[in-house]
Structure 1
Amino acid sequence: MTTTTPTIKRQRLGFLAASLSLGTVFAAAGSPVSLYETYRLEDGIGTGQLAVVAASYFIAVAVALLFFGRVSDYLGRKPVAFAALGFAVVGCLLMLNVQSATPLIIGRAMQGLGGGLASSAVAAYIVDAAPTKPAWLASTITGTVPMFGLPVGALLSGALVEYGPAPRQLVYLVFIILLALCASLIALSPETVDRSPGASKSIRPKLALPPESRRVLPYAAAVILGTWVMGAFYQSFGPTVAGEQFGTTNALLAAAVFASIMLFNPLGGLLTGRLSPAKKQRLGMALFLFAITGVVASLAMNATIPFLIASLIAGAGWGAAFSGSVQSLLTNARPQERSGILATIYLISYSSAAIPGLIAGALTHVLSLLHIALVMSAVTLLCSLFVLTFAKEPHSTH
């Protein structure tokens, strides 16, 4: 049950604090990526191990969502938001001294736990505190800000690594400070959910979807799998692509390769904000498939600029399709159902990245990066065809 409605001013503060927290948690999660090539060259962390590092993040997010995705419905949004920010800080602290794969894997897992809690509780906080108009604002933010935070964090990290002092520590210190500032804003913001009994029962794994959301889940799941599988490729191998395919060890360019597929993600959501959910899904997947074809062709030709351009276009398609999927699943959700639905969305998302990422990592000894990209893009093709053929609109019951 929601609390007494806070004043408009405090509600806006909560909306701002939650939105910034969601973005900062994911920006911090993007910060190690620009250092992957450094770790590979200086510390001997192999390409397959880096795929495991990426998968550890995805798996930790999925675990947090599976077990704690609904806990903020009982404990309140703010305590779980503090936990999300805290895990992100611990992850940064652990990676201040990386000399082998172990602290990197554990640090990424801590960031993943923070991302999982943020994807459910902080995203639900955004929905709770969002202004009523425009109606699409909350779904656009929750659907695109995580994908925007990751590339921003990676690019900031790349710039600091390449041009700043203490390249292996500075970026983590910067994000520790930013996460602490977000926690301060959350502390000043109003709670939107009354604490109630049942928190211990809520940690039992359960995919919470109301009947209407289940009706449109297959189309949303196809969007998620078809896009996040390529996100796994960029997260696992983006810096290696920059080094091996494009012949550069520049940390900022490595970050740009990783970031390129997510940077225009919010733009896709915003430009299609007034379209219906199914139209967003179809348009977004068509654009994503077209762009990924260009990505694979650019890899085959070792063409850096076309690769980056195609990746940016893919990001816009991803943003449109994913925000449409979030909107379709939230259309008829009651406030107490929102965090469970968002947890389900991101559980599917990170599973769609973790499993292919682990498989791809195991195949790095027998397949080239180009062949791995071809296999992953084939999944995108199949999912896109399904969405373009069968996607349906949710039936509004309001």
Structure 2
Amino acid sequence: MTAQDTTRIASRRPTLPERAPFIVATASFALVFASAGAPIPMYHLYREDNGLTDGDFAFASAGYFVAAVTSLLLLGRLSNHLGRRPVAIAALASAGIGAGTLAFIDQPSLLIVARVLQGLAAGIAPSAIGAFAIDTAPERPRWLPALVTGSTPMLGIPLGAISAGLVVDLLPHPRAIVSITLVALTLLMIVLVLLCGETMPRSRGAVASLAPRLHVPAGRGRVLLATGTAAIATWSLGAFFQAFAPTVASEYLGTDDALIAACVFSAMMILNPVGGPLAGKLSPRVGVRLGMGIYMVALTGIILTLDAGAIIPFMTATLVVGIAQGIASTSAMRALVTGLEQHERAGLLASVYLMSYSGAALPGLISGRVAGDLASGQILLGYSALGVLSAIVAMVAIGGARRTAEARPAEGSTP
């Protein structure tokens, strides 16, 4: 964070300790995505109690990603003009309303409404709350802002899914408990955000900022391509498990347990933050190539172990995918955000997440159409082909990126 940013924060009368706004921003970011992960282990309740199908879940998942893409495209730069806090609060409110709807789902349309609301929140959050986190991040370690913006969704979603899975398996009235808990946490985070100092003063141009536009700072096009395609490789795989985790657990791993389904969905994300410190010891170029190389090997392992019904090797392979993604995404994000002007952060983060969500939404729409005709394992092969292609593009793009766009090595690293 620059001295100018620090001065601006101080001038906006923060009412929390100096480091608190960064913690609040990171926690709010995680909560938005935890709310998005919470419905996954409840899918079997909706199937058994209300007759929803895999096709319904796939379309709801696609609705989530389409809503996220739309809000990123239209609202990605809004926090530059209205301020970080109001837009962050809007994201939290949308996530909270979506979470509250989960208790009342008895038909596909309500599930789609809930997922669309959560998708809107997930689209607004990266540009507003993610930029807020970068604005307030400490100077060291240098890789921390990249880790938060690149990996927090991948941590928040599985935490929400696993927590909800425990509630479904162990407590009565799981729908009500999950919804009430998420709504209460959302209200708490809104209050804490209101107590933080604003880091981006209001300015003119809010309406004009709604015009769809990708923001790519000069000289960072190849790095953006590498960052976006690395995200597509793993987000598309996450989208598959978001829609089909309960089916995969039932058909291939022999269990209908909600917690196991949540773990199947979460395994490829939960260790994503582990890749951040590892990436801090590598140059961005090496980190992206290493992470994507490990990803492709682990993806092969997922396909082979799932076909064999071997749950422990399958979970191991998915955990490795999460670490690989953490290495690649943090490395690419370091190269992308280091040295950015404050007004460039929201738009650039919106562009990154727009690519990520698009790579998840389009396959989701297709899989929703074919879910009744193909087995989930066959659909996984299609997602895997997309993942491998995206990983290769990321490795090539980062290799062609200009060295001036790369971040400095983190402290303690070898140049």
Q: TM-score w.r.t. structure 2 length?
A: 0.92
| 1:363 pairs with one of 360, 364, 370 | 370
| 2:10 pairs with one of 2, 6, 18 | 6
C-alpha change, 1:388 and 1:208, in structure 2 (3 Å) is: closer
Q: Secondary structure at the match of 2:219?
A: helix
Distance in 1, matches of 2:10 and 2:283, equals 31
Distance in 2, matches of 1:387 and 1:91, equals 34
Matched with 1:163 is: 170
- Is 1:261 aligned with 2:268? yes
Residue 391 of structure 1 deviates from its aligned partner by 2.1
Distance in 2, matches of 1:192 and 1:388, equals 35
Matched with 2:283 is: 276
Distance in 1, matches of 2:238 and 2:160, equals 15
| 1:190 pairs with one of 162, 184, 197 | 197
Distance in 2, matches of 1:149 and 1:390, equals 28
What letter corresponds to residue 34 of structure 1 in structure 2? P
Residue 156 of structure 1 deviates from its aligned partner by 0.2
Distance in 1, matches of 2:172 and 2:104, equals 15
Alignment of 1:39-54 (within 5 A): 39-54=46-61
What letter corresponds to residue 380 of structure 2 in structure 1? A
- Is 1:26 aligned with 2:33? yes
Matched with 2:127 is: 120
C-alpha change, 1:63 and 1:180, in structure 2 (3 Å) is: same
- Is 1:296 aligned with 2:303? yes
Matched with 2:413 is: none
Distance in 2, matches of 1:353 and 1:4, equals 37
Q: Secondary structure at the match of 1:159?
A: helix
Distance in 2, matches of 1:244 and 1:317, equals 27
Q: Secondary structure at the match of 2:289?
A: helix
Residue 389 of structure 1 deviates from its aligned partner by 4.2
Residue 394 of structure 1 deviates from its aligned partner by 4.8
What letter corresponds to residue 342 of structure 1 in structure 2? L
Residue 47 of structure 1 deviates from its aligned partner by 0.6
Answer yes or no: is the 8 Å Cα contact 1:289–1:381 preserved in 2: yes
Distance in 2, matches of 1:26 and 1:148, equals 8
> CA offsets per residue over residues 65-96 of structure 1, 9 Å max, x none?
11000000000000001101100111012221
Residue 390 of structure 1 deviates from its aligned partner by 4.7
What letter corresponds to residue 196 of structure 1 in structure 2? S
**Identity rate, percent:** 39
Residue 176 of structure 1 deviates from its aligned partner by 0.8
Q: TM-score w.r.t. structure 1 length?
A: 0.96
Q: Secondary structure at the match of 2:139?
A: coil
C-alpha change, 1:40 and 1:237, in structure 2 (3 Å) is: same
> CA offsets per residue over residues 252-272 of structure 1, 9 Å max, x none?
111111111101111112222
What letter corresponds to residue 371 of structure 1 in structure 2? Q
CA RMSD of aligned residues (A): 1.7
Distance in 2, matches of 1:77 and 1:257, equals 35
Distance in 2, matches of 1:229 and 1:269, equals 20
Distance in 1, matches of 2:259 and 2:214, equals 39
- Is 1:320 aligned with 2:331? no
| 2:238 pairs with one of 231, 241, 245 | 231
Matched with 2:226 is: 219
Matched with 2:411 is: none
Distance in 1, matches of 2:277 and 2:156, equals 16
Matched with 2:143 is: 136
Distance in 2, matches of 1:314 and 1:34, equals 21
Q: Secondary structure at the match of 1:292?
A: helix
Q: Secondary structure at the match of 2:90?
A: helix
Residue 216 of structure 1 deviates from its aligned partner by 2.0
> CA offsets per residue over residues 170-222 of structure 1, 9 Å max, x none?
11111111111111111111100110000111111110111122132222232
Distance in 2, matches of 1:218 and 1:119, equals 18
Answer yes or no: is the 8 Å Cα contact 1:10–1:190 preserved in 2: no
Distance in 1, matches of 2:80 and 2:237, equals 32
Matched with 1:151 is: 158
Distance in 2, matches of 1:91 and 1:244, equals 29
Answer yes or no: is the 8 Å Cα contact 2:9–2:198 preserved in 1: no
Answer yes or no: is the 8 Å Cα contact 1:66–1:205 preserved in 2: yes
| 1:381 pairs with one of 385, 388, 394 | 388
Matched with 1:74 is: 81
Q: How many residues end up aligned between the 2 structures?
A: 398
Answer yes or no: is the 8 Å Cα contact 2:279–2:328 preserved in 1: no
Answer yes or no: is the 8 Å Cα contact 2:80–2:346 preserved in 1: yes
Distance in 2, matches of 1:395 and 1:386, equals 18
Distance in 2, matches of 1:82 and 1:390, equals 36
Q: Which structure 2 segments of 5+ residues have no match? A: 408-415
What letter corresponds to residue 305 of structure 2 in structure 1? S
| 1:178 pairs with one of 180, 185, 188 | 185
After superposing on structure 2, the runs of 4+ consecutive aligned residues of structure 1 that deviate more than 3 Å are 7-11, 386-390, 393-398
Answer yes or no: is the 8 Å Cα contact 1:140–1:273 preserved in 2: no
| 1:351 pairs with one of 358, 372, 375 | 358
What letter corresponds to residue 323 of structure 1 in structure 2? T
Distance in 1, matches of 2:92 and 2:65, equals 17
What letter corresponds to residue 285 of structure 1 in structure 2? M
Distance in 1, matches of 2:265 and 2:289, equals 25
Distance in 1, matches of 2:348 and 2:17, equals 26
Distance in 1, matches of 2:366 and 2:338, equals 35
Answer yes or no: is the 8 Å Cα contact 2:223–2:397 preserved in 1: no
